[in-house]
Structure 1
Amino acid sequence: MSATDEERDKSGRPENGRTIGLATAMRRASTQLAELLRCEPGSVSAVKATEDGWSAEVEVVELEKIPDTMSVMASYRVSLDPEGELVAYERTRRYARGQTDRR
């Protein structure tokens, strides 16, 4: 869904500052992080719009093991600019693929 002319600022960007949609942000977060880390892309567990673009939580395979349930996974917080370019990332968690959260 694109912004109407009334919703655009002088630079031509939508007033909310984002030029890509949620699905595109999700794909770009996963792809760019996997390329940077040279890891197998996993899944995107969260995506949200921010004032500066997008924030996503991306899961990647950091170390392949046999059996697969013992592979080492990691969660990364990724920041994208309004055009969907990766501008920052940080690892927030490491775990075995077969591990589940305890709550």
Structure 2
Amino acid sequence: MAKDVGTLIEKAREELSKLTGLKASSTVGAAKDEKGWHISIEMLEKQSIPDQMDILATYEALLDEEGNLLSFERKSMRKRMETEVRV
């Protein structure tokens, strides 16, 4: 049975945190295609003082309709204070 997008996002956040050992910061995207659900989540790679210097990485997780994690990949990194994402 297919799950709703909110449930899939929570599953992706939990799985990425468990596998990477990183804390999820924010969800930045969710899209469905023929491969499954692509969920993009910013993860806290390195906490700094001040917070604006934190290093955030965007990970893309691919989940099937049931919420099983099929793959994940780090797509980019940035400092929290940088508003433009590097691709």
Tell me the TM-score normalised to structure 2 length.
Answer: 0.89
Q: What percent identity do the matched residue pairs reach? A: 29
Aligned to 2:24: 41
Match of 2:71 among 88, 91, 95: 88
Aligned residues: 85
Flag as ranges the 4+ runs of structure 1 deviating above 6 A. Answer: none
Letter in 2 for 1:74: A
Per-residue deviation at 1:65?
Answer: 0.7
Q: Normalization by structure 1: what TM-score? A: 0.76
* Aligned equivalent of 2:7: 24
Structure 2 unaligned residues grouped into runs of 5+: none
- In structure 2, what is the Cα distance between the partners aligned to 1:98 and 1:28? 27
C-alpha contact (below 8 Å) 1:20/1:83 kept by paired residues: yes
1:68, 1:49 → 2: CA distance?
A: 33
Question: Which one has the bigger strand percentage?
Answer: 2
The structure number with the bigger radius of gyration is 1
Q: Can you give the 5+ residue segments of structure 1 that lack an aligned partner in the other structure? A: 1-12, 14-18
RMSD, aligned α-carbons: 1.4
- Displacement of 1:89 in angstroms is 0.8
C-alpha distance in 2 between matches for 1:50 and 1:34: 24
CA distance in structure 1 between the partners assigned to 2:67 and 2:24 by the alignment: 17
- Flag the structure with more relative contact order, 1 or 2, with Cα contacts below 8 A and sequence separation at least 6: 2
